[in-house]
Amino acid sequence: MIPTSYPSKEEIARLTARMLLEIKAVDFNTDTPFILASGLPSPSYVDCRKLISYPRIRSTLMDFLTATVMRNAGFEAFDNIAGGETAGIPFGALVAERMALPMSYVRKKPKGYGRNARIEGEMTEGQRVLLVEDLTTDGGSKLSFVDAIRETGATCHDTAVIFYYDIFPETLQTLGDHGVALHHLCTWWDVLAEAKAQKAFSDSTLAEVEKFLNDPRGWQEAHK
């Protein structure tokens, strides 16, 4: 079902942050920083995959994401919804269901046998495709998915995510240079604001996380 109510962007961000905190999909730890896939330390961590196990939150956030995309890009802007392997696949399916559109998914690399495909499902030349993912950090990982979609003859000018880090200044430029607009529900700044409002962590932890968000690369260099 296509959602028909449209909370403000600010309310969507606040509620999304609240839900992520409620199910502990985000966490702050300044004493023992998390190690990211890059090998660098971080006092903050987000795991959007956890959302699929919470039906009420999952449903609400997919309504929010669908409403956000339609409000920003248009109600008839897309012909196909593509999820990125692997975290984007369930969210892509849920958005496609709400928008009453075909769903496909994009592999990180060709499967290596059979058709050696990167696109699974039906995607045809000329289709306007929305790429759905769980989150984006610096935007770089989205470009490979976008290129795979475009190789079919389809177009892809938009990507939608639940969570956008919003701490690396080059992200929007990276995507924009590739002709891709980013749609998102909340950022680390929204989570930090909600965590402060809830007093979800100690003042010292929140202060250290804020230092990281203001200068992530400097913080990581100092805590290697």
Residue pLDDT tens, the chain, 224 long: 566 668 899 999 999 999 999 999 999 999 999 998 778 899 999 999 999 999 999 999 999 999 999 999 999 999 999 999 999 999 999 999 999 999 999 999 887 665 668 999 999 999 999 999 999 998 888 999 999 999 999 999 999 999 999 999 899 999 999 999 999 999 999 999 999 999 999 999 999 999 999 999 999 999 98
CA 128, chain centre distance (Å): 19
**What confidence score (pLDDT) does residue 116 get?**
63
Q: Return the bridge partners of 57, or none.
A: none
* Terminal Cα distance for the chain, rounded: 47
* Alpha carbon distance 37, 224 (integer Å): 14
**Three-state SS at 116:** coil
Fold of 9-222: Rossmann fold (3.40.50)
pTM of the model: 0.94
Q: Where are the domains of the chain?
A: 9-222
Q: Which residues contact 77 (CB under 8 A, 6 or more apart)?
A: 69, 70, 128, 130, 158
